[in-house]
Amino acid sequence: MFLTELKYEEKQLFLNLCIHAANANDFFVEEEKNMIQDYCREMKIEEPSFLEMKSLEAVIAEINRISDLRSKKIIVLELLGLMMVDKEYDEHEKIFMKTLAEKIGIEKDLFNEIAEKLDKYLQVCNELQEAVLE
């Protein structure tokens, strides 16, 4: 939704985070792979197979160095979307996201607000899909 707003370096870091996030529960499912490919198309950058992977700690440090709060909120929102794409936002993924948000300076209340609004958005999308396609 908002990935085009990120700077090029932030987009690369975001992709690194996508890989780390998708592996948070040790299940890198097809829906997550497809979503990452969609993110790459949206951002107009190469797919992760050509991406130099960085450690999670290095990615977080770099995001904290170059990104403002607006970019960090976009990153959190889009990563939450990735986590929820397979409709199984499990405990490992929740811990990963809450820890990441905290480490990049997203306060708990703001994180919860973003997660809640995204959940509502996804519910409406599902309801529209059912109403139109069934």
Domains of the chain in start order, with CATH, are 3-133 (1.10.3680.10)
Q: What is the DSSP string of 85-126?
A: TTS---HHHHHHHHHHHHHTT--HHHHHHHHHHHHHHHHHHH
Task: Name residue 107's amino acid.
Answer: E
Per residue of the chain (134 residues), give pLDDT as tens: 899 999 999 999 999 999 898 888 877 888 888 888 999 999 998 776 656 778 999 999 999 999 999 999 999 999 999 988 878 888 999 999 999 999 999 999 999 999 999 999 999 998 999 999 97
Q: CA angle at residue 19 from 102 to 62, to 5 degrees?
A: 50
pLDDT at residue 33, as a whole number? 86
> Within 10 Å of residue 46's Cβ, how many Cβ atoms?
11
d(CA 106, CA 21): 17
pTM: 0.89
**Distance set, CA 55 to CA 21, 96, 127 (Å):** 12, 14, 38
pLDDT at residue 124, as a whole number? 94
